[in-house]
Amino acid sequence: MRYFQQSLVALLGSIGLLCQCYAVIDDENDSVYFQNDAGSQNSKYFRHLRGRFGTHETLNGLGLQDGKSGDLFSSFDSPSLQLESAVRSEGSVTRVMLNCMDDETPLACKKRILDSTSEECLRFIHCLHEANAFAVEVKASCLDDLDGFIDDPVREMLHIPDSLEIHHSRDLQAGQALPYGIDLVRAREAWTQFGVKGENVRVCVIDTGVWRGHEDLDRLFGHEGNDLVQPWFRDVDGHGTHCTGVISASDNNLGVVGVAPNVEIFVARVFSPNGEFHSSDMIAGLEACRDGGANVISMSLGGPFGSFQEQRTFDSLFENYGIVTVAAAGNTGRFQDIYPASYSNVISVAAVDRNRRHASFSTRNNRVDVAAPGVSVVSTWANNRYASLSGTSMACPHVAGVVALMLSYVPSATPAQIFDAITASAVNPNTDGVDSSLGHGIVDAVAAIEALANSSGGGGGEQPSPTDAPFPPPPDSESGGGGISGDCIELTVTLRTDGFGSDTVHWLQSSTGDILFFRRNLGSFETFQESACLDPSGCFAYHIRDAFCDGIRGEGVEIRYGNELVFSGGNFGCGGYILLGDGCT
Q: Does position 424 have pLDDT exceeding 90, yes or no?
A: yes
pLDDT band at 405 (very low <50, low <70, confident <90, very high): very high
Which residues, including other chains, have CB under 8 Å from residue 59's CB and lie 6 or more apart?
45, 46, 48, 75, 304
Nearest CA to 242 among 219, 213, 218, 217? 217
Separation of alpha carbons 261 and 299, rounded Å: 18
Q: For this structure, is 207 an active site residue?
A: yes
Domain extent listing, the chain: 1-77, 92-152, 157-456, 477-580
Please tell me which residue, 153 or 29, carries the higher pLDDT value: 153
Q: Does position 73 have pLDDT exceeding 90, yes or no?
A: no
**Residue 207 has what pLDDT?**
87
Q: Does position 180 have pLDDT exceeding 70, yes or no?
A: yes
- Arithmetic mean of pLDDT, 358-373: 96
**In terms of pTM, does the model score above 0.75?**
no
**Terminal C-alpha separation, the chain:** 63
For residues 347 and 325, the answer to whether their CB atoms sit within 8 Å is yes
**Residue 168 has what pLDDT?**
52
Among the residue ranges 23-27, 114-118, 438-442, the one predicted with the least confidence is 23-27
Q: For this structure, is 468 an active site residue?
A: no
- Arithmetic mean of pLDDT, 322-338: 94
Read out DSSP for 207-273?
Answer: ES---TT-TTTGGG-SS--B-SSS-TT--SSSHHHHHHHHHH---SSSB---SSTT-EEEEEE---T
* Model pLDDT for residues 79-128, shown as the tens digit of each residue: 444 444 444 444 466 788 888 888 888 888 888 888 887 777 888 888 88
Residue 195 backbone phi and psi in degrees, to 5: 70, 30
Q: Please provide the average confidence, as pLDDT, over all residues in the chain.
A: 75
Please tell me which residue, 4 or 563, carries the higher pLDDT value: 563
* Model pLDDT for residues 204-213, shown as the tens digit of each residue: 999 888 877 7
The whole-angstrom distance between residue 581's C-alpha and the CA centroid of its chain comes to 35
Q: Select which of 239, 278, 398, 506 is catalytic.
A: 239
Q: How long is the chain?
A: 585
Q: In what order do the strands lie in the sheet with 324-328?
A: 264-269, 202-207, 296-299, 324-328, 347-352, 370-373
Type and span of the H or E element at 508: strand 504-510
pLDDT band at 36 (very low <50, low <70, confident <90, very high): very low
Cβ neighbours around 172 below 10 Å, total: 15
* Model pLDDT for residues 448-494, shown as the tens digit of each residue: 999 999 886 655 433 333 333 222 222 232 323 333 345 789 999 99
**Residue 447 has what pLDDT?**
97
**Residue 463 has what pLDDT?**
33
For residues 398 and 259, the answer to whether their CB atoms sit within 8 Å is yes
Nearest CA to 175 among 231, 104, 230, 251? 251
**Residue 370 has what pLDDT?**
98
Which residues, including other chains, have CB under 8 Å from residue 58's CB and lie 6 or more apart?
15, 45, 46, 47, 48
pLDDT band at 223 (very low <50, low <70, confident <90, very high): low
Separation of alpha carbons 214 and 382, rounded Å: 7
Separation of alpha carbons 159 and 173, rounded Å: 25
* Model pLDDT for residues 547-556, shown as the tens digit of each residue: 766 678 777 8
Which residues, including other chains, have CB under 8 Å from residue 88's CB and lie 6 or more apart?
140, 143
Angular region, 302: left φ>0, alpha ψ -120 to 50, beta rest: left
Q: Does position 561 have pLDDT exceeding 60, yes or no?
A: yes
- Arithmetic mean of pLDDT, 353-368: 96
- Domain 477-580 top-level CATH class: mainly beta
Q: Select which of 393, 425, 456, 531 is catalytic.
A: 393
CA dihedral 424, 427, 428, 432 (to 10 degrees): 60
Separation of alpha carbons 343 and 314, rounded Å: 8
Q: For this structure, is 239 an active site residue?
A: yes
Cβ neighbours around 13 below 10 Å, total: 11
Among the residue ranges 192-206, 304-318, 465-479, the one predicted with the least confidence is 465-479
Angular region, 198: left φ>0, alpha ψ -120 to 50, beta rest: left
Pairing of strands 149-151, 93-99: antiparallel
Q: Does position 78 have pLDDT exceeding 60, yes or no?
A: no
Please tell me which residue, 86 or 291, carries the higher pLDDT value: 291
**Residue 185 has what pLDDT?**
98
Q: In terms of C-beta density within 10 A (0-12 exposed, 13-18 middle, 19 or more buried), how is residue 84 classed?
A: buried
* Model pLDDT for residues 232-278, shown as the tens digit of each residue: 656 667 888 999 999 999 888 888 999 999 998 888 888 766 667 78
Q: Does position 510 have pLDDT exceeding 80, yes or no?
A: yes
Q: Is 18 helix (H, G, I), strand (E, B) or coil?
A: coil
Beta bridge mates, 168: none
**Residue 99 has what pLDDT?**
85
Measured CA to CA in angstroms, residue 277 lies from 95, 226, 281, 303, 484 at distances of 10, 15, 6, 11, 57
**Residue 111 has what pLDDT?**
85
**Residue 49 has what pLDDT?**
32
- Arithmetic mean of pLDDT, 512-526: 83
Separation of alpha carbons 155 and 556, rounded Å: 41
* Model pLDDT for residues 137-170, shown as the tens digit of each residue: 888 777 777 776 777 877 777 666 656 666 555 4
Nearest CA to 488 among 470, 506, 500? 470
Instruction: Tell me which of 3.40.50.200, 3.40.30.10, 3.30.70.100, 3.90.1150.10 is the CATH number of domain 157-456.
Output: 3.40.50.200
Measured CA to CA in angstroms, residue 552 lies from 499, 508, 566, 576 at distances of 9, 19, 17, 13
Read out DSSP for 49-84?
Answer: EETTTEEEEEEE---GGGS-TT-EEEE-SSHHHHHH
Amino acid at residue number 493: V
Task: Summarize the chain as % helix, strand, coil (round to 5).
Answer: 25, 30, 45
Separation of alpha carbons 419 and 396, rounded Å: 14
Q: Does position 441 have pLDDT exceeding 90, yes or no?
A: yes
Please tell me which residue, 535 or 230, carries the higher pLDDT value: 535
For residues 210 and 235, the answer to whether their CB atoms sit within 8 Å is yes
Nearest CA to 164 among 242, 102, 108? 242
**Residue 254 has what pLDDT?**
85
Q: Select which of 151, 152, 207, 369 is catalytic.
A: 207
**Residue 365 has what pLDDT?**
95
Cβ neighbours around 564 below 10 Å, total: 10
**Residue 117 has what pLDDT?**
78
